[in-house]
Structure 1
Amino acid sequence: MGSAVERTDEHVREYLIYRGFTSTLKHLDSDMKADKEKGFRVDKIIDQLQLFIHTFDLNGLKDYWGYLDRRLFCRLEDIYRPTVSKLRTSLFRYYVVYTVQLKNLEKTQEFFQRQAQELQGKPEWRDWFILPFMPAPEQNPLFSPYFSRQWSDTFLVSLHNFLSVLFQCMHILFFDSEVQRTTCLQEENDQLRHMVCLKGSMGGIPGSIIRKLNQARLFFQMPEKRGESGDPEPHLEGGTTSSDLIDPPPPSQTQVSGEGQRGTGVLGVEQPFIKLSQEEYGEHHSSIMHCRVDCSGRRVASLDVDGVIKVWSFNPIMQTKATIMSKSPLLSLEWATKPDRLLLLGSGVGTVRLYDTDAKKNLYEMAIDETHQRILSLACSPSGTSFVCSAAAHAGPGRSGSVTETVPRLPNPLSVSGQLLLWDTKTVKQQLQFSLEPGPVAINCTAFNHNGNLLVTGAADGVIRLFDMQRYDCAMSWRAHDGEVYSVEFSYDENTVFSIGEDGKFIQWNIHRCGVKQSENSLPQDATGPFVLSGYSGYKQVQVPRGRLFAFDSEGQHVLTCSNNGGLIYRLNSTSDSGLEKVLPLGGHKAPVVTVDWCSAMDCGTCLTASMDGKIKLSTLLAQKS
Structure 2
Amino acid sequence: MGSAVERTDKHVREYLLYRGFTSTLKQLDSDIKADKEKGFRVDRIIEQLQQLVQSFDLAGLKEYWLYLDRRLFCRLEDVYRSTVNKLRTSLYRYYVINTIQKGNLEKTQEFFQKQALELQGQAEWRDWFILPFIPTPEQNPAFGAYFSRQWADTFLVSLHNFLSVLFQSPPQPVLLSFDAEVQRMTSLAEENEQLRQVVRRGSVSESVGTREGEEGAVLQAGPSGAPHLVNALSLRSSSSVLRFPQAAESRADDVDATAAKSAVEPPDSSGREDGGLQVEQPFIKLSQEEYGEHHSSIMHCRVDSSGRRVASLDVDGVIKVWSFNPMMQTKATIMSKSPLLSLEWATKPDRLLLLGSGVGTVRLYDTEAKKNLYEMNIDETHPRILSLACSPSGSSFVCSAAALSRSGSVDSVPRLPIPVSGQLLLWDTKTVKQQLQFSLEPEPVAINCTAFNHNGNLLVTGAADGVIRLFDMQRYESAMSWRAHDGEVYSVEFSYDENTVFSVGEDRKFIQWNIHRCGVKQSEQVLPQDATGPFVLSGYSGYKQVQVPRGRLFAFDSEGQHVLTCSSSGGLIYRLTNGEPALDRVLSLGGHKAPVVTVDWCSAVDCGTCLTASMDGKIKLSTLLAQKS
TM-score normalised to structure 1 length: 0.62
1:443 aligned onto 2:453: no
Q: Secondary structure at the match of 2:55?
A: helix
Map 1:55-454 → 2, pairs under 5 A: 187=146, 190=149, 192=151, 210-211=158-159, 257-261=267-271, 263=273, 270-397=280-407, 400-402=409-411, 407-412=413-418, 414=419, 416-454=420-458
Name the count of aligned residue pairs.
Answer: 423
Change over 3 Å in CA distance of 1:465–1:342 after alignment to 2? same
How far, CA to CA, are the matches of 1:313 and 1:379 in structure 2? Answer: 22
What is the alpha-carbon distance in structure 2 between the residues aligned to residue 325 and residue 14 of structure 1?
43
Aligned Cα root-mean-square deviation (Å)? 3.7
For residues 320 and 311 of structure 1, the distance between their equivalents in structure 2, rounded to whole angstroms, comes to 6
Change (3 A) 1:441 1:269: farther
2:287·2:623 contact (CA, 8 Å) conserved in 1? yes
Q: Is the 8 A contact 2:286 2:625 kept in 1?
A: yes
> Residues of 1 paired with 2:292 and 2:499: CA distance?
38
CA contact (8 A) 2:400 2:423 kept: yes
Q: 1:580-595 maps to which residues of 2 (within 5 A)? A: 580-595=583-598
Farther off after superposition, 452-461 or 172-181: 172-181
Shift of 1:483: 0.2
Query: How many angstroms does 1:255 deviate by?
Result: 7.5
Matched, 1:11 2:14: no
| Partner of residue 601, structure 1 | 604
Q: 3-state SS of the aligned residue for 1:605?
A: strand
Mapped to 2, the partners of 1:474 and 1:190 lie a distance apart of 43
Deviations 1:402-442 (A, max 9, x none): 2xx6x422222x2x110000000000000000000111100
Partners of 2:614 and 2:324 in 1: how far apart?
18
Q: Identify if the C-alpha distance between structure 1 residues 173 and 456 changes in structure 2 by more than 3 Å, giving closer, same or farther.
A: same
Structure 1 residues 262 and 441: alpha-carbon distance in aligned structure 2, compared to 1, 3 A threshold = same
Q: Give, in whole Å, the separation in 2 of the partners of 1:14 and 1:455.
A: 55
Assess, with a 3 A threshold, how the Cα gap between structure 1 residues 175 and 503 changes in structure 2: closer, same or farther: farther
Is 1:624 matched up with 2:627? yes
Structure 2 CA distance for partners of 1:193 and 1:454, relative to 1, 3 Å: farther
Q: Deviation digits for residues 10-49 of structure 1, max 9, x if unmatched? A: 8399999xxxxxxxxxxxxxxxxxxxxxxxxxxxxxxxxx
Q: CA deviation at 1:263?
A: 4.8
Paired residue for 1:463? 467
Evaluate the alpha carbon distance shift between residue 312 and residue 171 of structure 1 in structure 2; reply closer, same or farther with a 3 A threshold: closer
**TM-superposed deviation, 1:625:** 1.7
From the superposition, tell whether residues 175 and 594 of structure 1 become closer, same or farther in structure 2 (CA, over 3 Å). Answer: farther
**Contact persistence 1:290–1:546 (CA under 8 A):** yes
Q: Displacement, 1:400?
A: 3.8
In the TM superposition, what is the alpha-carbon distance from 1:536 to its structure 2 partner? Answer: 1.7
Give ranges in structure 2 of 5+ residues lacking alignment.
1-50, 61-99, 112-130, 164-231, 243-263
Distance 1:462 1:15, change over 3 A: farther
From the superposition, tell whether residues 12 and 622 of structure 1 become closer, same or farther in structure 2 (CA, over 3 Å).
closer
Q: Separation in 2 of the partners of 1:509 and 1:336?
A: 27
Q: Would the alpha carbon gap of residues 514 and 13 (structure 1) be closer, same or farther in structure 2, given more than 3 Å must change?
A: same
**Scaled by the length of structure 2, what TM-score is found?**
0.61
Deviations 1:154-207 (A, max 9, x none): xxxxxxxxxxxxxx9x989968879999977983664547989xxxxxxxxxxx
For the residues of structure 1 that align with 2:274 and 2:615, how far apart are their CA atoms? 34
1 CA distance for matches of 2:584 and 2:297? 29
* Distance (whole Å) between structure 2 residues aligned to residue 507 and residue 489 of structure 1: 11
Provide the rounded CA distance (Å) in 2 between the counterparts of 1:264 and 1:14.
46
Shift of 1:211: 3.4
- Any unmatched runs of 5+ in structure 1? 1-6, 17-167, 197-207, 216-243
**1:146 — aligned with what?**
none
Is structure 2 residue 545 aligned with structure 1 residue 541? yes
Secondary structure of the corresponding residue to residue 578 of structure 1: coil
Change (3 A) 1:453 1:178: farther
- 2:607 counterpart SS class: coil
Distance across 1 between alignment mates of 2:593 and 2:607 = 26
Give the 3-state SS of the residue equivalent to 1:597 in structure 2: strand
CA-to-aligned-CA distance 1:253-279 (integer Å, 9 cap, x gap): 9988333346579xx954200001111
Distance 1:515 1:307, change over 3 A: same
Aligned to 2:215: none
251-260 or 308-317, larger mean C-alpha shift = 251-260
C-alpha contact 1:255 1:262 (8 A) present in aligned 2: no
Any conservation in 1 of the 2:148–2:325 contact (CA below 8 Å)?
A: no
Query: Where does residue 476 of structure 2 map in the other structure?
Result: 472
Q: Which residue of 2 aligns with 1:492?
A: 496
**8 Å CA contact retained: 1:354, 1:362:** yes
Distance 1:441 1:172, change over 3 A: same
What is the percentage of aligned positions where both structures have the same residue?
Answer: 77
> Relative to 1, partners in 2 of residues 1:456 and 1:281: Cα closer, same or farther, differing over 3 Å?
same
Inter-partner Cα distance in structure 2 for 1:377 and 1:13: 49
Whole-angstrom distance in 2 between the partners of 1:178 and 1:490: 53
CA radius of gyration, larger in: 2
Deviations 1:236-261 (A, max 9, x none): xxxxxxxx999899567998833334
